[in-house]
Amino acid sequence: MAVPKRKTSPMKRGFRRSADAIKAPTYIEDKDSGELRRPHHVDLKTGMYRGRQVFTQKPKDEA
């Protein structure tokens, strides 16, 4: 069985455990479209942010 050669310091243990506090991203329902989107982010389907048009959608045939 593998046995550690040295004791893990509290700092190194904290580095390893820091990822445990990461939470899954939150999503909210958009008022206008009803789709889920990240808060404080632009809605990529409609191009709206805080009630105004930020960008326009490209037609599907253009790449």
Instruction: Please tell me whether residue 61 adopts helix, strand or coil conformation.
Output: coil
pLDDT, tens digit (0-9, with 9 covering 90-100), for 1-32: 899 999 999 999 999 999 888 888 899 998 87
Instruction: Give the length of the chain.
Output: 63
Residue type, 40: H
The β-bridge partners of 53 are 48
Q: Where are the domains of the chain?
A: 23-63
pTM above 0.75, yes or no: no
Q: Please state, in angstroms and rounded to a whole number, the distance separating the CA atoms of residues 26 and 44.
A: 16
Rg over CA atoms, the chain: 22
The pair of structure tokens assigned to 5 is: 């050669």
The pair of structure tokens assigned to 33 is: 């479209």
